[in-house]
Amino acid sequence: MRSISGGGVTSPPDARVARVDLPTVGRCEAVKLAMLPRDWGLAAAAVALLLDQGSKLLLLYGYGFKALGEALAPAIYSVPILPFFNLDMVWNPGVSYGLFPAHSRVGSTLLVFLSLVAISVLGWWLWQASRKTLTIGLGLIIGGAIGNNLIDRLIYGKVADFFHFYVLGYSWYVFNVADAAITLGVIALLYDALIRPEEPAGAGTSQVRE
C-alpha cells in the first residue's frame, strides 16, 4: 500500500508483503484432516507390527533370550524386573495368550491359513469403514495378527512371548506386544459397537466421523 505525502507519492519503509508460513500446529491439523479413516487404521497396523517385531528382535537377539531360553529348556529363562513383572522366554504354539495350541506342522499350517483369511476379512472391513475408532481398532488387530500368527509362525514355527505379570498369587498369561495390540483393538471395536453402531448402507453421510 502506498501513501500520499506533500503532493508526492511515497512508500512505507518496507512495502514488501511478508510470506506467512503455516504454523507447525496448523500443518499437523491439515495432515489430520487429509487422512482418511482407513489411513488411521493402516497406521495403527504398521505401528503395532513394528513395535511387536522390534521388541522381539531386541529381546531374542539383542539380549540373547533365544539362545538362553534354548540352553535352559525345558526350564523357562526369566529376568525379574519389578515385584509384579518378569521378562520370561516362552514359546507359544498357539495364538494369542496360548489359545488353540498347534504342536504339529499341520496345525501350524492351519493356523497360518486361518490367520490369512481373518486378516483379509479384517482388511476389507477396515477399507470400507468410515469411523476412526473402528479403523484404528481393526488396524491394531491386523498388525498384531501379522506379527504373531504370520511372521513368528513362518520364521520360528511358534510365537515368542515375554511379558509376565503376576500379583497376589495370580499369574497372568505370558504375552507380547502383538497380544496387547489385539486386545486393545478388540476393546476399540467393542467401544465402537456400543457407543456408535454402524449405520445402514446408504443412510450415512460423506463426513468422516471419529
Buried b / exposed e along 173-182 (16+ C-beta atoms within 10 A) = ebbbbbbbbb
Cell numbers at residue 109, please? Answer: 499350517
Is 48 in contact with 147 (CB distance < 8 Å)?
yes
- Is residue 154 left, alpha or beta, with left meaning phi > 0 and alpha meaning psi from -120 to 50? alpha
Instruction: List the end-to-end C-alpha distance of the chain, in Å, as a whole number.
Output: 45
Go through 27-53 and write b for each residue having 16 or more CB atoms within 10 A of its CB, e for each that does not.
Answer: eeeeeeeeeebbebbbebbeebbebbb
Residue 179 falls in the annotated catalytic set: yes
- Asked if 195 contacts 189 with a C-beta cutoff of 8 angstroms, the reply is no
CA distances from 153 to 98, 101, 109, 112, 115 (A): 13, 12, 9, 7, 11
Question: Does 192 qualify as catalytic in the annotation?
Answer: no
| From 14, 21, 39, 161, the catalytic residue | 161
- Among the listed residues 52, 152, 179, 192, the single catalytic one is 179
Active site residues: 161, 179
